[in-house]
Amino acid sequence: MSGRVLVVGSVNVDLVVQADRLPQPGETVLGGTFRRFHGGKGGNQAAAAARLGAPVVLVAALGDDEFGGEARAALAHEGIGTDVLVTLEHTATGVALILVDRHGENQIAVAPGANAGLTADHVRSGLGRLGPRSGDAVLVTHEIPTVAATEALRIGRESGASTILNPAPADGLDGSVLALADVLTPNRGELGRLVAADGRRSGRSASAPGDPIRAARRLLEDSDEGPGAATAILVSLGASGAILVERDGAAVEIAAPTVTAVDATGAGDALNGALAAGLAAGLGLEEAARRAVVAASLSVTRAGAREGNPTLAELAAALAESR
Ligand code: RIB
């Protein structure tokens, strides 16, 4: 029987301007088009897993404004369990201002709103009602306060579920948090920041190796510090795919299929949601990671962070084509 994917993270409304190019500081770029999407790393990752057929529940905080009601309805529409979502009074729902250029590259600024009000108590109460167990995957993003993310990972770890930490953004995470994740899923920049912070804490070099395999091995090898507890790091490399580095030092490079990028926003969320769905379905880590890389590639071919997530049928077709 498949386990569930229990996501703890953020929900935003994304206000997106697609323009020819991204502006420089102080510059105005004219001629773009505007669209509004549902977003936030937690909501996007939950949707990514749900579209692949996983039973998914989201623990997150919404504001009591119009955006909050719309966000809740959109999550339910994706088939995501919304029973333990928290609505905070007199609080705005998170908003992301996103610019996307003609190559699909983006710039994002987030006003966290209710996401900043998600507490460890909310997480204890939400996950307490859900009762994570062995076979489930607890997927945590860091667009929420670190104490809430830490509590989610702690509960997941104690329950015997697989714990995945998407350290986005990576700032403010120390070894004690990383130690609670079975799998870390940084992108290259986040990996560099985690290694540098770990080096500063342990008094070793604060400069991270440029090679992501060496950087991930360094984080995993640091067994006296928290990161040593992770069993693997899946480093996402955008159009180049990902690298899976396991605790014994073994590294597998996973190439991504070539696609035409329209909007890279949320590609990491597609990867994380698909990874969690694969683990909850009982796949091994490497197979789940391979599917996640293909799901992330498909996600960039459509506008909108959450909109781009593929369905199970779309992923199956792409996997068949890539064999
Ligand atoms: O990862 C993409 C997401 O980051 C967007 O949906 C936006 O809301 C920000 O949280």
- How confident is the model over 29-58, as pLDDT tens digits? 998 999 999 999 999 999 999 999 999 999
Q: Nearest CA to 78 among 62, 98, 58, 93?
A: 58
Question: In which band, very low, low, confident or very high, does the pLDDT at 124 lie, cut at 50, 70 and 90?
Answer: very high
Q: Whose CA is nearest to atom 1 of ligand 1?
A: 266
Specify the DSSP class assigned to residue 257.
P
Q: Nearest CA to 18 among 118, 98, 108?
A: 98
- How confident is the model over 288-297, as pLDDT tens digits? 999 999 999 9
- How confident is the model over 195-208, as pLDDT tens digits? 988 888 777 776 77
- Please tell me the predicted confidence (pLDDT) of residue 224: 45
206-231 average pLDDT score: 75
User: 248: CA distance to ligand 1 center in Å?
Assistant: 33
User: 43: CA distance to ligand 1 center in Å?
Assistant: 9
- Please tell me the predicted confidence (pLDDT) of residue 1: 65
At 136 the three-state DSSP class reads: coil
- How confident is the model over 143-196, as pLDDT tens digits? 999 999 999 999 999 999 999 999 999 988 887 888 899 999 999 999 999 998
**pTM of full prediction above 0.85:** yes
- Please tell me the predicted confidence (pLDDT) of residue 230: 73
The rounded distance, in Å, linking the Cα atoms of 200 and 153 is 24
Q: Whose CA is nearest to atom 7 of ligand 1?
A: 40
Classify residue 26 by burial, with Cβ atoms within 10 Å: 0-12, 13-18, 19+: exposed
229-251 average pLDDT score: 92
Which protein residues are within 6 Å of ligand 1, measured from CB?
A: 10, 12, 14, 39-41, 44, 96, 108, 110, 143, 265-266, 268-269, 305
**311: pLDDT strictly greater than 90:** yes
Q: Which atom of ligand 1 is nearest to the CA of 265?
A: 2
User: 54: CA distance to ligand 1 center in Å?
Assistant: 21
- Please tell me the predicted confidence (pLDDT) of residue 178: 87
- Under 8 Å between Cβ of 151 and 123: yes
53-68 average pLDDT score: 98
Classify residue 131 by burial, with Cβ atoms within 10 Å: 0-12, 13-18, 19+: exposed
User: 265: CA distance to ligand 1 center in Å?
Assistant: 7
Tell me the catalytic residues.
Answer: 269
Exposure string for 258-280, b = 16+ CB within 10 A, e = fewer = ebebbbbbbbbbbbbbbbbbbbb
